[in-house]
Chain A
Amino acid sequence: MGLETAIPTDSVLTTQLNRIINWARRSSLWPMPFATACCGIELMSTASSRYDLARFGAEVMRFSPRQSDLLIVAGRVAVKMLPVLQRIYMQMCEPKWVISMGACASTGGVFDTYAVVQGVDQFIPVDVYVPGCPPRPEMLLEGIMAVQRIIDEENIPYDGEGHRLPLEIALQPNYEPRPQPAEVSIGAT
Chain B
Amino acid sequence: MAKANLDHPTLALVKVAFTDIKFKATEFRGQTTLIVPAERLHTVMRYLRDDPECDYNFLSDVVGIDYLGYPAKTLGRFAIVYLLISYEHGRRLAVKVFLDPTVDTSGIEPDPALEVDSVTDIWPGAEWPEREVYDMFGIRFRNHPDLRRILMWKDYPAHPLRKDYPLRGRGERETYRVLDRDAS
Q: Are A116 and B179 in contact (CB under 8 A)?
A: no
Whether A144 sits at the interface, judged by CB under 8 Å, is no
- Pick the contact of B179 from A79, A113, A124 — CB < 8 Å? A124
Which residues of chain A are near B172, meaning CB under 8 Å? 79, 114
- Pick the contact of A80 from B152, B167, B168, B179 — CB < 8 Å? B152
Q: Are A89 and B160 in contact (CB under 8 A)?
A: no
- Pick the contact of A115 from B152, B174, B178, B182 — CB < 8 Å? B152
Which residues of chain A are near B153, meaning CB under 8 Å? 79-80
Q: Are A112 and B176 in contact (CB under 8 A)?
A: no
- Pick the contact of B177 from A89, A116, A123, A162 — CB < 8 Å? A123
With A79-B176, A80-B153, A115-B160 already in contact, the answer to whether A164 and B181 are too (CB < 8 A) is yes
- Report A45 CB to chain B, min CB distance, Å: 29
A-side interface mostly: loop
> CA of A104 to CA of B20 in the docked complex: distance in angstroms?
55
Q: Are A89 and B178 in contact (CB under 8 A)?
A: no
Q: Are B177 and A112 in contact (CB under 8 A)?
A: no
Whether B183 sits at the interface, judged by CB under 8 Å, is yes
B-side interface mostly: loop
Q: Are B160 and A114 in contact (CB under 8 A)?
A: yes
Whether B169 sits at the interface, judged by CB under 8 Å, is yes
Which residues of chain B are near A86, meaning CB under 8 Å? 177, 179
Whether A125 sits at the interface, judged by CB under 8 Å, is yes
- Report B156 CB to chain A, min CB distance, Å: 9
Whether B173 sits at the interface, judged by CB under 8 Å, is yes
> CA of A115 to CA of B176 in the docked complex: distance in angstroms?
12
Interface string of A160-187 (1 = CB under 8 A from B): 0010100000000000000000000000
Q: Which residues A34-67 have CB closer than 8 A to chain B? A: none
Count A interface residues, CB 8 Å.
21
> CA of A164 to CA of B182 in the docked complex: distance in angstroms?
12
- Pick the contact of B168 from A82, A92, A112 — CB < 8 Å? A112
Q: Are B179 and A125 in contact (CB under 8 A)?
A: yes
Whether B180 sits at the interface, judged by CB under 8 Å, is yes
Q: Are B167 and A114 in contact (CB under 8 A)?
A: yes
Whether A24 sits at the interface, judged by CB under 8 Å, is no
> CA of A117 to CA of B173 in the docked complex: distance in angstroms?
6
> CA of A115 to CA of B172 in the docked complex: distance in angstroms?
8
Q: Are B169 and A114 in contact (CB under 8 A)?
A: yes
Whether B19 sits at the interface, judged by CB under 8 Å, is no
Which residues of chain A are near B177, meaning CB under 8 Å? 86, 123
Whether A122 sits at the interface, judged by CB under 8 Å, is yes
- Pick the contact of A122 from B166, B169, B174 — CB < 8 Å? B174
Which residues of chain A are near B160, meaning CB under 8 Å? 114-115
Whether B184 sits at the interface, judged by CB under 8 Å, is yes
- Report A99 CB to chain B, min CB distance, Å: 15
Which residues of chain B are near A164, meaning CB under 8 Å? 181
A interface residue numbers (CB < 8 A to B)? 79-80, 82, 86, 89-90, 92, 94, 112-118, 122-125, 162, 164
Known: A82-B176, A114-B165; 6 extra A-B contacts, CB below 8 A, are A80-B153, A112-B167, A114-B167, A114-B168, A122-B174, A125-B179
